[in-house]
Amino acid sequence: MIFYHNYGAGVHWASDYAAKHPDVSLDILESQTLLPLDYDAIRSSITKTGKVLLLHEDTLIGGIGGEIAAWISEHCFELLDAPVLRCASLDTLFHSISSWKKILWQNQGWMNVCKS
């Protein structure tokens, strides 16, 4: 299985999982940049494993994992033994911006948010 993660915490999550499950064969691929992506490394890992789990902190909808999954489907489909799986954060609004949380929690309308 391949874990492809592009944010710092994903590295720790995958590494912790690997340490706790030595019986599971993992190929952990850490992305140093989002642009350009290391397409050769992605293809090499898929060639070894045939399976993909994209792990990242971003939301599932609109996250970078969807773009990477699309590229894999377009360029490495014949190498896959199973569909590409994605594991990401919940699809929530502004989940990491405390000022937006405060505004939303106070039940202010979108017009008030846009004016400030």
Domain residue spans in the chain? 2-115
Q: Rounded distance, CA 2 to CA 29, Å?
A: 7
Q: Which CATH class is domain 2-115?
A: alpha beta
Q: What is the pLDDT of residues 69-99, one digit of tens each?
A: 999 999 999 999 999 988 887 777 655 556 6
Whether cis (ω within 30° of 0) applies to the bond prior to 22 is: no
pLDDT at 105: 53
In the chain, the percentage of residues whose pLDDT exceeds 70 is 71
CB 10 within 8 A of CB 57: yes
Buried b / exposed e along 62-95 (16+ C-beta atoms within 10 A): ebbbbebbeebeeebeebeeeebebebeeeeeee
Q: Terminus-to-terminus CA distance in the chain, angstroms?
A: 47
